[in-house]
Amino acid sequence: MPRKPARRALALVTAIAALALAVPAQADRYDPQKAGHPMRILAYIVHPVGVMLDMLNFRPAHWLGSKEPLATIFGHEPYKN
């Protein structure tokens, strides 16, 4: 079993290597041919509606359904890691 100083040294070397090999993220290039697609335009309109439904309807409904006695009725099981 390695000693603590050896583990710390290994962790330090691993962290330095991870930082040295990291590549910065780049934004996607804007492609007017894809951005003008009718489904993309529809998605720009519908996405905020879906987010509002999620925040105002589905999340509170899930929270309510996870409480007893509704959890037993609906068969809700707690999330396990």
pLDDT number for residue 55: 94
Q: pLDDT tens across 5-61, in order?
A: 888 889 899 999 888 888 887 877 877 776 777 888 888 889 999 999 999 999 999
pTM: 0.44
DSSP per residue over 19-60, as a string? HHH-----PPPP-HHHHT-HHHHHHHHHHHHHHHHIIIIIHH
Q: Is the pLDDT of residue 73 over 60?
A: yes
**Two structure tokens written together for 50:** 């879906």
Q: Measured between alpha carbons, how far is residue 62 from residues 7, 48, 53, 78 in Å?
A: 44, 20, 12, 11
pLDDT number for residue 81: 66
Domain locations along the chain: 30-81
- In this prediction, residues 68-81 reach a mean pLDDT of 85
